[in-house]
Structure 1
Amino acid sequence: MALISPPEKTTSSRRFRDSDLWYSFRRSPTALIAAAMIVLIVGAALLAPLIAPHDPFDLATVNLMDAQTPPMSVSLMGNYFALGSDIQGRDVLSTILYGSRTSLFVAVMATGFALIVGLTLGIVAGYFGGAWDSAIMRIVDVQLSFPAILIALLVFGVTRGFLPAATQDAAAVWVLIFSIGLSNWAQFARTVRGATLVERQKDYVSAAHMMGTGRFRILFGHILPNVISPVMVIATLGLAVAVIEEATLSYLGVGVPPTQASLGTLIRIGQQFLFSGEWWILFFPALVLVLLTLSVNLLGDWLRDALNPRLK
């Protein structure tokens, strides 16, 4: 008598490797290149203290005699700079690595904050309807009628005005995160609200009501997992928007203080020397910013198409 072997246990990683999403990712050269570029930039930023040739914030290692050294050349003090040095003698490559850490931290935290606020308000508006829906969606309509950068500027100025002058620079990054997040939650709320309106009419929600399941569990245990796909796409694209907004605010001088490096502050400093011949001070931070935002946008476009059932 032949023995029937028990079915092989399927792990989460095995299910992911067998999924259509992973298959689509492996078959998309654009997604592979974009993901590789993101991993490269994020990995270099996280490992900045270990791989940066110099510490741009250590005054003991900064020498004005190294200032304005062109890329791939040796300074008067005998130091080699692969991407050149700035007006203060800091290594441009090292400032980019440390600046990317700040920009990515602000973008990820701001996008996470916007996601939490928009997800919560959107699912409440779509599920309860009535006055909740009207109030939340009118706020969304008003906010979406203004450019996000103007809202971020307003929130940043008002929030910073409430802080004591001695703590403004120390809290600038967190104020920046709050400002960018508060200017981007509306798109999450509108998308989640529309998806919730569809999901609440389905049979599994009615069955949960009949079984006496609480509203909180229905909202976040049943409906939320079924509306998370479009949220992932918006969060990916919103990450690129947050990087641009941080760079814009820092470029305008109202974001990260000059004592902290970010891609925006590096670009603001570099543009002052663009027409005097030191083009590398601006070019390389701007190139990293473009590559990062372009890669995130391309990955978000692929994710949107991969999660769209109409394209399968």
Structure 2
Amino acid sequence: MTDIATPEGRQGRIARFFDSDIVFSYRRSPIAILASIVALGLILAAVLAPWIAPYDPFNPRTLNLMDGFTKPMSSSFAGNYFLLGSDHQGRDVLSTILYGSRVSLLVGLSATLFAMTLGVGLGLVAGYRGGLLDTVIMRIADIQLSFPAILIALLIFGVARGLIPASQQENVVLWVLVLAIGLSNWAQFARTVRGATMVERQKDYVSAARIMGVPPFFILIKHILPNVIGPVLVIATIGLALAIIEEATLSYLGVGVPPTQPSLGTLIRIGQQFLFSGEWWILAFPAFTLILLALSVNLLGDWLRDALNPRLR
């Protein structure tokens, strides 16, 4: 018997992974391959923004108003070249997109992780325990799902900002936004996990664990959770795209991240002010980046849903 800790065991696991159904499905899906390349490229560009951005757009010492409203692929009066043009403050649009994508991705990933953790935990407890606790959790989820997520996020964001001192709001507004988006999206995870948990708890391996005296917490984490994680990954992937769009919507409405930490939504709001005066690039390029990012992640979620569904194989 080969030990999985040995090089031979690791090579065997790698070989089995590349021979798995999900990798086979990925290789046969040009849309998934293209979407993953686009998403990975945008994510890497955002992560490496401090090193690959032509300028630091949020350093006042490097800004020059003579660079303002420079058209794409041209030089300004001050002699600086801007591939995607510059905005009204002379900031390089390409650099603002790279830095703004960092904020959008940070908020989207953090909010999705928070919503997934909360929703999966509540769904496991509700599906395993049942009774009054299940009823309370699911009725709260039903009430929340009856309202648009953006309205719930606006409500939570407004209440949280009202409770935070004005002097501290700019420092914590990013995490308040994560909290608002996360609390507006946990219900989908909870409903899905609760239904899968109700099915799994009736199976023999769960009954055997109970007879052996395994505590409920370890039954949920070690036995039930691995068997319900597939749908969770699908919801998380699609939810990431929705969280990015939700953050952009809140920032576009002026209730998102502060101007000192602009996201793609803030850049779109700024560009919209100059759209009809001819400076179309200030709006077009951030909006196109947001569309590419959300669409590529959403397409990956659709592929993952089909790949993990045995009825579609």
Q: TM-score, normalised by structure 1?
A: 0.97
Q: Which residue of 2 aligns with 1:63?
A: 64
Query: Partner of 1:300 in structure 2?
Result: 301
Q: Could you list the per-position Cα deviations for residues 138-166 of structure 1 after superposition, in whole angstroms to 9, with x for gaps in the alignment?
A: 00000000000000000000001000001
Offset of 1:260 from its aligned partner?
1.2
Q: Secondary structure at the match of 2:256?
A: coil
Q: 1:155, 1:65 → 2: CA distance?
A: 41
Deviations 1:205-228 (A, max 9, x none): 011111111111101110000000
Cα offsets for 1:3-43 (capped at 9, x unmatched): xx979535443332121111111111000000000010000
> 1:160 is paired with a residue of what secondary structure?
helix
- Counterpart AA for 1:199: E
CA distance in 1 between partners of 2:13 and 2:252 (Å)? 44
Q: Secondary structure at the match of 2:244?
A: helix
Residues 153-207 of structure 1 deviation map (CA, whole Å, 9 limit, x = unaligned): 0000000100000111111100000000000000000000000011001110011
| Correspondence 1:61-210 to 2 at 5 A | 61-210=62-211
**2:257 aligned partner:** 256
Read off the aligned partner of 1:62 and give its amino acid letter: L
CA RMSD of aligned residues (A): 1.2
Unaligned runs of 5+ in 2: none
Q: Percent identity?
A: 69
Question: What do residues 212-266 of structure 1 show as CA deviations (whole Å, max 9, x unaligned)?
Answer: 1111110111000000000000000000000000000000000011121200000
How many residues get paired? 308
Distance in 1 (CA, whole Å) between partners of 2:263 and 2:308 is: 33
Separation (CA, whole Å) in 2 of partners of 1:218 and 1:138: 25
Question: CA separation of 1:58/1:17 partners in 2, compared to 1, >3 Å: closer, same or farther?
Answer: same
Q: Aligned AA for 2:186?
A: W
What's 1:9 paired with?
9
Counterpart CA distance in 1 for 2:15 and 2:156 is: 45
2: CA distance, partners of 1:175 / 1:9: 45
**Gap regions ≥5 residues in structure 1:** none
By how many angstroms is 1:77 displaced?
Answer: 0.6
Query: 2:231 aligns to what?
Result: 230
Aligned counterparts of 1:223 and 1:117: Cα–Cα separation in 2: 16
2-side partners of 1:177 and 1:57: how far apart?
22
3-state SS of the aligned residue for 1:117? helix
Q: Look up the SS of the partner of 1:89 in the other structure.
A: coil
Give the AA of the match of 2:154.
Answer: L
Q: The residue matched to 1:229 in structure 2 has which SS?
A: helix
Q: Which residue of 2 aligns with 1:28?
A: 29
SS at match of 1:155: helix
The amino acid of 2:97's aligned partner reads: I
Q: Give the Cα–Cα distance (whole angstroms) in 1 for the partners of residues 181 and 307 of structure 2.
A: 28
Letter of the 1:121 counterpart = L
CA distance in 2, matches of 1:108, 1:13: 27
Structure 1 counterpart of 2:54, one-letter code: P
